[in-house]
């Protein structure tokens, strides 16, 4: 869970360069928080396990998560530790760069997973990213796998991960850069299924930005087209995709159908500033762009 500190500027600076930006905006963010909000706004029953600081940013994140419909009863509050933050610059084309300060996210521990183990008895799916320690991520994935709960792993921010985590993963979600990092080199899309199968991954979604996604489900691969929108801010669009994908999988969609919905949700999110506040409800999705 991060507070997104965003400044808009006509173009992103080069190394060593200073540019002038807009007034500072403070919005709710953080990959898991975003993904939870995206799923909840679409109607999913979502519980979030996380840590925030006992500060104003923590207050903001909890208030906004509740507003989206997320159960935050298991979010801890830490004194003397800042809530995680993301420093974000967004240019006129909607592109961004982001620097994360983990703060309270870095205090997530394996015992937090075990303390809330009852969630795994009720869950239809566990959604994970890499903005907390990998020991925590692995513990949660293994807990879910032991109880028959599918694991959706968003391999972001990109980092090397142990084979045990991949073995516990039911669906892997990566972009092209994260796929290349996982494979050790750039991977042509027509070789992605074979590359991932070599690592034991048989079900995956590779996001392609405005071009949509490539879905790999066993021996079947299929491109899902993107939606045509005028992008305002792409911050959090990947998380909107992830949350929507998780929701639709729990609702019983196959991976391709779930990805089609997720592409539309991400497209709508790109048309508004910020992350969570740009995400559509189920009604807004129905009225949103089709392709």
43 marked among binding-site residues = no
Give strand pairing partners of 84: 2
User: Residue 256 CB: number of other CB atoms within 10 A?
Assistant: 17
210 marked among binding-site residues = yes
92 marked among binding-site residues = no
217 marked among binding-site residues = no
270 marked among binding-site residues = no
Instruction: Give yes or no for a contact between 206 and 262, defined as CB atoms under 8 angstroms apart.
Output: no
Cα separation, 198 vs 51, in Å, equals 35
209 marked among binding-site residues = yes
Nearest in space to 147 (alpha carbons), one of 112, 120, 113, 178: 120
Options 239, 253, 254, 291, the catalytic residue:
239
Strand, helix or coil for residue 152: strand
190 marked among binding-site residues = no
Q: Is 135 a catalytic residue?
A: no
181 marked among binding-site residues = no
45 marked among binding-site residues = no
Instruction: Give yes or no for a contact between 37 and 64, defined as CB atoms under 8 angstroms apart.
Output: yes
What one-character-per-residue DSSP string does 160-179 give? ---HHHHHT-SEEEEEHHHH
Strand, helix or coil for residue 216: strand
259 marked among binding-site residues = no
Instruction: Catalogue the active-site residues.
Output: 239
Which residues belong to the annotated binding site? 2-4, 30-34, 131, 175, 207-212, 233, 235, 238-239, 269, 272, 274, 278
Residue set of the binding site for ATP: 175, 207-212, 238-239
Q: Which residues are annotated as a binding site for substrate?
A: 2-4, 30-34, 131, 239
| Residues flagged as binding site for K(+) | 233, 235, 269, 272, 274, 278
């Amino acid at each position: 869970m991060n507070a997104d500190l965003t400044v808009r500027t006509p173009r992103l600076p080069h190394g060593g360069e200073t540019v002038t930006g807009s007034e500072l905006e403070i919005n709710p963010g953080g990959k898991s928080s975003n993904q939870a909000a995206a799923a909840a706004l679409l109607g999913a029953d979502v519980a979030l396990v996380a840590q925030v600081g006992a500060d104003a940013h923590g207050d903001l994140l909890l208030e906004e998560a509740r507003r989206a419909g997320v159960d935050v009863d298991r979010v801890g509050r830490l004194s003397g530790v800042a809530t995680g933050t993301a420093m974000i610059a967004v240019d006129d084309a909607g592109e961004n760069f982001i620097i994360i300060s983990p703060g309270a996210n870095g205090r997530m521990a394996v015992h937090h997973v075990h303390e809330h183990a009852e969630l795994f008895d009720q869950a239809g799916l566990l959604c994970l990213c890499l903005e907390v320690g990998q020991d925590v991520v692995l513990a949660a994935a293994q807990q879910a796998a032991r109880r028959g709960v599918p694991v959706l792993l968003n391999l972001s921010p990109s980092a090397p991960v142990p084979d045990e985590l991949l073995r516990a993963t039911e669906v892997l979600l990566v972009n092209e850069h994260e796929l290349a990092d996982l494979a050790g080199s750039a991977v042509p899309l027509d070789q992605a299924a074979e590359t991932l199968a070599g690592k034991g991954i048989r079900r995956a979604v590779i996001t392609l930005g405005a071009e949509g996604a490539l879905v790999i489900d066993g021996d079947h691969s299929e491109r899902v087209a993107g939606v045509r929108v005028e992008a305002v801010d792409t911050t959090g669009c990947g998380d909107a995709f992830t949350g929507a994908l998780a929701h639709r999988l729990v609702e019983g969609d196959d991976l391709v159908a779930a990805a089609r919905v997720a592409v539309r949700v991400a497209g709508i999110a790109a048309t508004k500033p910020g992350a969570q506040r740009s995400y559509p409800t189920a009604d807004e999705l129905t009225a949103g762009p089709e392709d």
